Structure 1
Amino acid sequence: MMRDFNRVIRYLAYTLEILVLFMLQETPGLLPSIFGVRPVLLFPAVVSIAMFEKEIPALAFGIVGGLFCDFGLSGTLGFHALVLGLLCFFISLVVRVYMQVNLVTALLTGVWSIGLAICAQWFFLYFFNYAQPAYAFTHHYAPKYGYTLLFVPLLYLLNRGLSQALGAQEEGQFPYSRK
C-alpha cells in the first residue's frame, strides 16, 4: 500500500514538474533568448522521466509533455505527443534492458532523443511547407537543440532525486545496473 501511495505521489510530482516547466518555457522574457531561440524544457524533462519509469508510465508522460508542446509551440495538434510518446516508450525499454542510469547515459540519451525530436519537428512541420529549410535548420532548430541540451543534466538530477525519494527503486524501476 505504501508503494502505491509513493507511486501516486511520484506521478503527481512529475505532472507538477511538467506543468511548471511548461509555464517557464512559455513565459515571455523569463528565459533569455540565445540566437533568437528559447529552449524547449519539456523535451529533457520527459526524456529523464522515461529513464526512471516503466514503459507505460513513460509513454503517458511523453504524451502529456508532447501535448503541452503542441499547445505551446503551435504546431499540428498531436505531433509532439506522438513523437515524444514513442521516444519515451523506447527510452524506458532500452534503459530497463540494456543500460545503466547515470549522468553520462542521460546526456547521451538526451543528445540523440532530443536531436531526433527536433529533426522530426523541422522535417515534418517546416521542410515541406516553407522555403529555405536549410537556413531555418541552421539558424533556428540547431540553436534550439543546443540550448535545450543545457537543461538535460539539471532535469536528470531533479528526476533522479524524485525517483529515489519516492521509492521507485523499491519497485525495481530504478535500474542502476542490469540484471
Structure 2
Amino acid sequence: MRNLGFFRYFSYSLLVILLYILQATPNLMPELFGSKPLLLLPLALAIASVEKEVPSLVFGAVCGGLTDIAAGGGIGYFAIILTLICYFESHVFGTYFVPNIISATVYSATATVLSVLVYFLIFKVFSGVPDWQILFVNHYISRIVYTFVMFIPICILARFLHRSFIKV
C-alpha cells in the first residue's frame, strides 16, 4: 500500500479553487431566498472529517481566508474560526468519534450554525447595523441552511477523493 498524499491534497486544492470561483463570482451560483452559500466552509469541514490535524488546520485556514476575501474584506474572522474548528474536528474524529458521514454531518451543522451566528453577532448586531433583525431573517437564515445543505455533496466528494488516493 502506498499513500498518495500529494495527489489527494492536490485534488483538494483544485476543489478549493473551483468552490472559491463558484462562491466569489457574481451570478454564477444561484441565490436562494436572498443569499448564497459559503461553499468553502463545508469543504473545510468535510476535509477535516477525514484528514489528520495539520492538513485540516491548513485547509481550514486557506478556506477561511478565501471566504474572508470573497466577502470583500481582508483575512480575518473566518480564517481564524475555520482554522480552530477544523483542527478541533480532526482531533475529535481522530481520537473520540468514528468519522462517518452522520457524525460529520452533525458536527458540520453545529459548526456552520455557530460560526455564521457568531459572525452575525460580531459584525452586524454589535457593530450597530440598523434593522439587523430583518437582515438576519432575509439573508442569514437562508445562508445557514443553504451552506449546510451543500455540505452533503461536498462531503461525499471529499470522502471519495480521500479514499481514492489512500490505497494503490
Consecutive unaligned residues of structure 1, counting only runs of 5 or more, are: 171-179
Count of residues paired in the alignment: 167
Runs of 4+ in 1 over 3 A off after TM superposition: none
CA offsets 1:109-154 (integer angstroms, 9 cap, x no match): 1110111111121012211221232222222111100011111110
Please show how residues 107-122 of structure 1 align to structure 2 within 5 Å: 107-122=105-120
**Identity, % of aligned positions:** 31
Q: 1:106·1:152 contact (CA, 8 Å) conserved in 2?
A: no
Q: 2:52·2:90 contact (CA, 8 Å) conserved in 1?
A: yes
Q: 2:66·2:75 contact (CA, 8 Å) conserved in 1?
A: no
Higher relative CO (Cα under 8 Å, sequence separation at least 6) belongs to: 2
Q: Calculate the aligned-residue CA RMSD, in Å.
A: 1.7
Q: Which residue of the other structure, out of 8, 12, 33, is the alignment partner of 2:6?
A: 8
Query: Which residue of the partner structure matches residue 127 of structure 1?
Result: 125
Query: Which residue of the partner structure matches residue 136 of structure 1?
Result: 135
Query: CA separation in 2, counterparts of 1:16 and 1:119?
Result: 29
Consecutive unaligned residues of structure 2, counting only runs of 5 or more, are: none
Query: CA separation in 2, counterparts of 1:124 and 1:74?
Result: 16
2:61 partner amino acid: I
TM score, norm. by length of structure 1:
0.87
Q: 2:16·2:43 contact (CA, 8 Å) conserved in 1?
A: yes
Query: CA separation in 2, counterparts of 1:36 and 1:97?
Result: 39
TM score, norm. by length of structure 2:
0.92
